[in-house]
Amino acid sequence: MCWKMNTKTVLAEKAEIINSEKKKMDRLWNAYVMELIKGITSTESLYHHHVVPYQKGQLLVEVFGNVYVKIIRYGTFGSIKVQYQVESEELGPIEIPPTNIYRQGVVDDGILLSDKDQIFEHYLQKLQVIYNHILQYFTKGEEE
């Protein structure tokens, strides 16, 4: 009987630790997404992008009306990997390097989640890859 109580107690303690860490990572993901939403919303006409309602664990950004960037969370336990999947039939595949959000509230190479300007700048660097691709597409069209 004592052994069963001990197993239940130990398992309950482990469950609490795991749940606590999961909630922490959920808060970090939510902070990241909220900063992107605020930045995107405040610069819609400047950068021609806007947030499209989507599903939990993902953010969908529309760029120039027909390019879609899915910002997808991967990972629940430990660090979060953020993938940027670009969808555009016209432009073809566009590779954007992933982002990592670490337990310490740090993104990639030391950007603090609390640094709102740097978080949005980090997103704009990802967006720049798409804009460069679009400009190359225009140049390619002129050469044909």
The pLDDT confidence band at residue 7, using thresholds 50, 70 and 90, is confident
Q: What is the pLDDT of residues 72-105, one digit of tens each?
A: 999 888 899 999 999 998 888 899 999 999 999 9
The pLDDT confidence band at residue 126, using thresholds 50, 70 and 90, is very high
- pLDDT of 142 higher than 80: no
Residue ranges of the domains in the chain? 7-141
- pLDDT of 68 higher than 70: yes
Mean pLDDT of the chain: 91
Dihedral of CA 17/23/24/26: which sign? positive
pTM of the model: 0.85
The full length of the chain comes to 144
- pLDDT of 112 higher than 60: yes
- pLDDT of 10 higher than 60: yes
C-alpha span between 4 and 10 (Å, rounded) = 10
The pLDDT value recorded for residue 1 is 47
Residues 6+ apart with CB under 8 A from 113: 28, 31, 32, 35, 101, 105, 106, 107, 119
- pLDDT of 51 higher than 80: yes
The pLDDT value recorded for residue 141 is 62
- pLDDT of 27 higher than 70: yes
